[in-house]
Amino acid sequence: MAARLADLALGEPVGRVPDMGGPQVLSFADLLRAYLRAGHRRRPVVPVWTPGIRAVRAGALLVPPDQAVAPGYAAGRRTWEDFLAGGCKAR
């Protein structure tokens, strides 16, 4: 999926392309907890209200279900945990 994104960014304009997304839906807290575990660190993760992200919480950044199976849909296969295990250095 990263290669497709790079091709789109560096190539000629192509207009609207199919949505892309990863294989998981995770909360910000889940992402942070996994990142801390990968770095063998412990920190409390406290939910904080952030103005302006209601749409994100409602799924605005998710690939619509009807497009998840559409031809040409680019679905990532690498999970967040796979990425962290593959050498991302948690600091």
For residue range 9-49, list pLDDT tens digits in order.
999 998 988 777 777 788 888 999 999 999 999 999 987 88
- pLDDT for residue 58 is more than 70: yes
Contact 23, 77 (CB under 8 A): yes
Integer CA distances (angstroms), 14 to 7, 17, 67, 68, 72, in order: 11, 7, 19, 21, 14
